[in-house]
Amino acid sequence: MRPLIDENNLSYSKEFLIYRTRGKILEKAIFVIGAFVGFIYFYMQNQLFIFFALFCFFIFQIPLLVKSIKRIDEIQFRINSKGIQYRDNLLVPWNNIENERAISEHNGYKNDTTDYFVYYIIDPGQIMKFNLNELSTDVCELDIVLNVHRNRFKRENSIT
């Protein structure tokens, strides 16, 4: 498990990497195993329509699960004192980024919220918004990381 970045220690951790969460992959694997068990059960109960539906679900989910497992170590974000890089795209420097933050939005249900990583790229005028539930970080950790690396950028470039 990665250590949490201490916002008071700016010499710690030169770069922060964000990956896909392993929880979503585990969730997909459980659904595939459940479909497998279900289609065997309904085959033995001679309920062929439900068997066929679960069999199709199982067959179509296998390639998606394999693809997710292959991409488990693929870096989604690289955040450092130079800027933010999304996947294999070019690194966007901090002087071209503004209003970077992690936010929570209520979905209309009682306690249901979705967390997002949002930043604005100045030059093309593009708003980037990513669901944090699919990534290996949370709102608090990301806020600290963004603050630390933005301050490093300012300190390295003598910006006040």
Into how many domains does the chain fold?
1
The answer to whether residue 132 sits within a structural domain is yes
Look at residue 3 in the predicted model and tell me its pLDDT: 54
**What's the domain range around 38?**
7-160
Q: What is the pLDDT of residue 39?
A: 86
Strand partners, 20: 135
Q: Is 48 inside a domain boundary?
A: yes
In a domain? residue 1: no
**What Rg do the C-alpha atoms of the chain give, in angstroms?**
21
SS (H, E, C) 53-117: HHHHHHHHHHHHHHHHHHCCCCEEEEEECCEEEECCCCCEEHHHEEEEEEEEEECCCCCCEEEEE
Within a domain: 2: no
pTM higher than 0.85: no
Whether residue 116 contacts residue 132, with contact meaning beta carbons closer than 8 Å, is answered with: yes
Question: Tell me, what's the pLDDT at 23?
Answer: 86
In tens digits, the chain (160 residues) has pLDDT values of 455 555 555 555 789 999 988 888 898 899 899 989 998 999 999 998 988 888 898 899 999 889 888 888 899 999 999 999 999 899 999 999 999 999 988 877 777 888 999 999 998 899 999 999 888 888 889 999 999 899 889 988 888 6
Residue 91 pLDDT = 94
In the prediction, which pLDDT does 21 show? 87
Calculate helix-pair angle for 22-44, 48-70, nearest 10 degrees.
160
